């Protein structure tokens, strides 16, 4: 093969690109090995893990420009790793609007306490025809609007603090779930539990809004989020009902090890990347639907509302 200006063949040049390809494959395949002890770097990587696909694309273009066979060969490793992790999430997803024999359609949305169109937001969520609607950041002034707008379709609802659940089916056993981190001293109520009496049986539904994460000079600040996730996981573990649905703004992706106490005992949403935040240019799905003794599928984002999050809808099949 023809060499470059330094006389190196296509089998030799591009070793740096090949090394970067191997490194990218390693980060994809062994992201759990990246330590969290310094700046929560592991969680930061896992929050944006699918975007390593863009790194693979960039390396591919550079390898072509460099006409490097060794780099192109090495790129097979990250391509295989990315496809294994996320390849099944880029196929078209059907709308979660068909109720199966044991299926429920659910919608999860952080409606934003700065939302200037709560009525329009409520109508948009109801338009997906869900059985359950979970909301976070319910501002006191907007709450009556949500209640009035959804009343005809959802006769049952429960509110605790700033989170709420609307249902077509009766709700009982509604109670606060304390997921407040120890470092927060002000009033803070972001978790509820309710028993949903569906035609397919009783389900324990949890709605939660975990603390936000922040990017700081010291790194990825997620300690409060992680503590809140552990408290929520403890409540789910103690739940006596077999079937459980967890809906909420968890401020983390399902790959983020900070949510491992939950994801280790629940089935996570499958079928689409469905990035929800920020609404203007979604980078990650931090609004989650998870379940125990049930399968979560047909997950997709719904059209934008007046929130900085996109709503997410999913099908939950019991059994």
Task: Give SS3 for 153.
Answer: coil
| 291: in domain | yes
| 37: in domain | yes
Q: Same domain for 168 and 241?
A: yes
Given 89, 113, 132, which residue is the final one in a domain?
Answer: 89
CA–CA separation, 291 and 314 (whole Å) = 11
Residue 37's pLDDT is what?
A: 78
| 163: in domain | yes
User: In CATH, what number is assigned to the domain containing residue 229?
Assistant: 3.60.10.10
- Tokens at residue 312, please? 């997410």
Domain count, the chain: 2
Contact of 308 with 275, CB cutoff 8 Å: no
Q: Same domain for 85 and 108?
A: no
Given 41, 66, 89, which residue is the final one in a domain?
Answer: 89
- Tokens at residue 76, please? 């097979």
Q: Same domain for 197 and 300?
A: yes
Q: Same domain for 67 and 149?
A: no
| 97: in domain | no
Which residues form the domain of 48?
15-89
Does the pTM surpass 0.95? The reply is no
- Tokens at residue 51, please? 């975007």
Residue 41's pLDDT is what?
A: 85
Q: Same domain for 52 and 164?
A: no
> Strand pairing of 163-167 and 132-136?
antiparallel
Nearest to 127 by CA among 273, 303, 275: 303
pLDDT in tens, the chain (319 residues): 455 555 555 566 789 999 999 999 999 999 888 987 777 888 888 888 888 989 999 999 999 998 899 999 999 999 999 988 887 665 555 555 444 556 899 999 999 999 999 999 999 999 999 999 999 999 999 999 999 999 999 999 999 999 999 999 999 999 999 999 999 999 999 999 999 999 989 999 999 999 998 877 767 789 999 999 999 999 999 999 999 999 999 999 999 999 999 999 999 875 568 899 999 999 999 999 999 999 999 899 999 999 999 999 999 998 7
Contact of 246 with 281, CB cutoff 8 Å: no
Residue 46's pLDDT is what?
A: 84
Given 67, 89, 111, which residue is the final one in a domain?
Answer: 89
Q: Same domain for 141 and 240?
A: yes
| 10: in domain | no
Nearest to 206 by CA among 250, 236, 240: 236
């Amino acid at each position: 093969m023809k060499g470059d200006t330094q006389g190196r063949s296509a089998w030799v040049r591009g070793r740096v690109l090949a090394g970067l390809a191997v490194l990218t494959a390693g980060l994809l395949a062994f992201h759990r090995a990246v330590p969290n002890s310094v700046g929560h770097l592991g969680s930061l990587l896992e929050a944006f893990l699918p975007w390593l696909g863009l790194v693979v694309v960039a390396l591919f273009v550079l390898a072509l420009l460099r006409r490097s066979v060794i780099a192109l060969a090495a790129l097979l490793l990250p391509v295989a790793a990315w496809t294994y992790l996320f390849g099944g999430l880029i196929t078209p997803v059907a709308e979660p609007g068909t109720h199966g024999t044991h299926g429920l359609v659910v919608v999860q949305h952080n409606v934003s306490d700065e939302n200037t169109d709560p009525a329009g937001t409520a109508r948009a969520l109801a338009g997906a025809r869900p059985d359950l609607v979970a909301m976070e950041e319910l501002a006191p002034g907007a709450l009556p609007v949500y209640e009035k707008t959804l009343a005809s379709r959802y006769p049952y609802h429960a509110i605790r603090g700033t989170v709420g659940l609307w249902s077509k089916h009766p709700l009982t056993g509604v109670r606060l779930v304390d997921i407040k981190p120890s470092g927060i001293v002000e009033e803070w109520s972001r978790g509820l539990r309710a028993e949903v009496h569906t035609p397919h049986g009783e389900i324990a539904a949890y709605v939660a809004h975990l603390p936000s994460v922040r990017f700081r000079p010291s790194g990825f600040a997620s300690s409060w989020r992680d503590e809140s996730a552990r408290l929520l996981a403890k409540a789910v573990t103690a739940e006596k009902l077999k079937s459980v649905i967890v809906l909420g703004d968890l401020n983390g992706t399902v790959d983020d090890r900070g949510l491992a106490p939950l994801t280790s005992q629940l089935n996570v949403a499958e079928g689409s990347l469905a990035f929800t935040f920020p609404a203007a240019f979604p980078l990650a799905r931090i609004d989650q639907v998870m379940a125990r003794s049930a399968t979560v599928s047909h997950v997709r984002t719904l059209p934008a509302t007046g929130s900085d999050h996109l709503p997410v809808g999913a099908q939950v099949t019991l059994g």
